[in-house]
Chains A and B, each alone.
Chain A
């Protein structure tokens, strides 16, 4: 009741600062973040960091790793290390774009469904159910195959497969928030339903959606490489990790051709999952306290 408690209270950190500090309190997230930053730096600096042109076929084919070619060379005599480094320039930006697009589409559809209810809700959710009825990779395969094997079409396929998850999440959060007392009290003060959706509901559902996106980036990398592995994504000679693993599988006795791009996928997916898990813990009030103290 005293003024003192309010004074003391005003020094507490806002959520953003807390989230920014969190990695230092959980080593797993720190590892994940380090790996991600490492890959991002490599992707940006690829033209300088890679020892040679990823497309140049000027070395002997299928050479084992050596001082000249750390990761060896592939079936066309290209330097595997250079191709793996350049692969980061494809997988990472596309994964971000892909997740951003599915988050955006899913959130809009989910918010509209939750806000308007009735038949709009039914139509949107049945559409989502339709997508959910298929295993993600199978549906993505079918769509990518129908659109034609191209990296761009693979991205579209993955977006089509992954938006319903966001739509469901956002819809359920909007439905829960719509009847909450803070929304009702804003409505009584004269706010329209749409205004409360942006002013009152959005900040409260941004956390869970962000966590889902972060956890999904790893998944997106995996799906996209999966499609490329099956020949439905990146086409030769693009240095894409999934396509490179596919090349390695045809030369399975030359382990270095497939192993290094595979490790690249593994580390990126793992790193994003570490970060996403920690983000979830930080934004969940039930576990956040433990991390803060």
Chain B
């Protein structure tokens, strides 16, 4: 477990998201999937981004690398803005910001050899074909595949192997930071462990920053240094993995953490959250969580909570922030 100690402030911030909003749909029927999220990823740090389906975590991940246009806010990589991908080639500096997708079967071109696919990372950056081939063989070995795999086609591999090939492909571009969108949830249990270990090993050995988008809380707990919890397009709590897990502050995080099944069979499902996730096209007034919140107060229906420091981490909750504010006064 790497989550015990907070990351030293000396590590440079690689990816900085400020007030990021992502919208879908046409004028008139626009849905704000992500609404004003602040998040940073530093070198050598794994930031877990968790939340239930539809909370906007994947949209945030895609926006962070420039796959979705920002409706508001800014995404910066190494201090420079992340431009949305257009028709032309992505600026070279952004090549060091990469993404690993959920489904390795569809993220690798079925008609090209694994060697060519991995070598792309080198040749698209201006490297020669020979360099690409050498690098591809080396990277495949690094992710635990024989160098002879270069001549094979993607359909000849298992899901776990394919995901490692996909990771090798992004590594060929020498990334400083990458976003992994549910990188292991499409894999079987043994492959999950291999890929999760590979990812955390890369972060540890190469000082890569990783934004790990996942709904699998146990994996995030294993791998992440910090955790951001999303609900309906907002980040409700950000803190070190240790803080968030052992003393969750936001009522949503508390419900989420309490719902994790435990190996002793004592998996509790106590905090029954009434109702479903509201429609993101028509979010509730005030705090977006208030219709389902067990500790809701009158002010929650009108006040939109902004992140405030509570017990050493950022929490967006009026009720939780109140005692802290009182203590400050």
Chain B, residues 134-170, CB within 8 Å of chain A (1/0): the string is: 0000000000011011011100111011000010011
Q: Number of A interface residues, CB 8 Å?
A: 31
Bound form: Cα–Cα A284–B79 in Å: 47
User: Which residue of chain A is the closest to B111 with respect to CB atoms?
Assistant: A203
Binding site for A on B (CB under 8 A): 65, 67, 85-90, 92, 94-95, 98-99, 101, 103, 106-112, 120-121, 124-125, 145-146, 148-149, 151-153, 156-158, 160-161, 166, 169-170, 172-173, 190-191, 194
For B156, give its contact among A9, A181, A194 (CB under 8 Å): A9
User: Which residue of chain A is the closest to B113 with respect to CB atoms?
Assistant: A14
B194 touches A1 (CB 8 A): yes
Interface membership of A12, Cβ < 8 A? yes
Residues of B within 8 A of A192 (CB): 87-89
Known: A1-B160, A180-B106. A189 touches B169 (CB 8 A): yes
B124 touches A190 (CB 8 A): yes
Bound form: Cα–Cα A194–B108 in Å: 18
Known: A9-B152, A189-B121, A190-B95. A181 touches B101 (CB 8 A): yes
B124 touches A6 (CB 8 A): no
Interface membership of A188, Cβ < 8 A? yes
Residues of A within 8 A of B88 (CB): 192-193
User: Which residue of chain A is the closest to B112 with respect to CB atoms?
Assistant: A203
Q: List 27 A-B contacts (CB under 8 A).
A: A1-B190, A5-B158, A7-B148, A9-B157, A181-B103, A181-B106, A182-B107, A182-B108, A185-B99, A185-B107, A185-B166, A185-B169, A186-B124, A187-B90, A188-B65, A188-B90, A189-B98, A189-B169, A189-B173, A190-B92, A190-B124, A192-B87, A193-B88, A194-B87, A199-B112, A203-B111, A203-B112
Interface membership of A57, Cβ < 8 A? no
Chain A, residues 180-224, CB within 8 Å of chain B (1/0): the string is: 111011111111111100011001100000000000000000000
A189 touches B120 (CB 8 A): yes
Binding site for B on A (CB under 8 A): 1, 3, 5-7, 9-10, 12, 14-15, 115-116, 180-182, 184-195, 199-200, 203-204
Residues of B within 8 A of A193 (CB): 86-88
A190 touches B107 (CB 8 A): no
User: Which residue of chain B is the closest to A183 with respect to CB atoms?
Assistant: B109
Least Cβ distance of A214 to chain B in Å? 19
Kindly list the 7 A-B residue pairs having the minimum CB-CB distance in the complex, ordered from nearest: A9-B156, A203-B111, A192-B89, A181-B107, A190-B124, A182-B109, A193-B87
Residues of A within 8 A of B108 (CB): 182, 185
Least Cβ distance of A238 to chain B in Å? 43
Bound form: Cα–Cα A1–B160 in Å: 8
User: Which residue of chain B is the closest to A12 with respect to CB atoms?
Assistant: B156
A-B contact count (CB 8 A): 102
Main secondary structure of the interface of A (DSSP, over half): helix
For A204, give its contact among B99, B111, B170 (CB under 8 Å): B111
Least Cβ distance of B88 to chain A in Å? 5
A10 touches B161 (CB 8 A): no
Residues of A within 8 A of B107 (CB): 181-182, 184-185
Bound form: Cα–Cα A10–B87 in Å: 36
B98 touches A188 (CB 8 A): yes
Bound form: Cα–Cα A167–B88 in Å: 23
Bound form: Cα–Cα A262–B112 in Å: 45
Least Cβ distance of A130 to chain B in Å? 27
For B95, give its contact among A9, A14, A182, A189 (CB under 8 Å): A189
Residues of A within 8 A of B95 (CB): 188-190
Identify the interface centre among B87, B111, B173: most chain A CB within 10 Å of its CB.
Answer: B111
Residues of B within 8 A of A7 (CB): 146, 148
A10 touches B109 (CB 8 A): no
Least Cβ distance of B51 to chain A in Å? 22
Least Cβ distance of B275 to chain A in Å? 34
B106 touches A182 (CB 8 A): yes
Residues of A within 8 A of B191 (CB): 1
Bound form: Cα–Cα A9–B98 in Å: 29
Least Cβ distance of B90 to chain A in Å? 5
Least Cβ distance of A206 to chain B in Å? 8
Residues of B within 8 A of A191 (CB): 89, 120, 124
Residues of A within 8 A of B94 (CB): 190
A204 touches B109 (CB 8 A): yes
Residues of B within 8 A of A181 (CB): 101, 103, 106-107
Residues of B within 8 A of A9 (CB): 152, 156-157
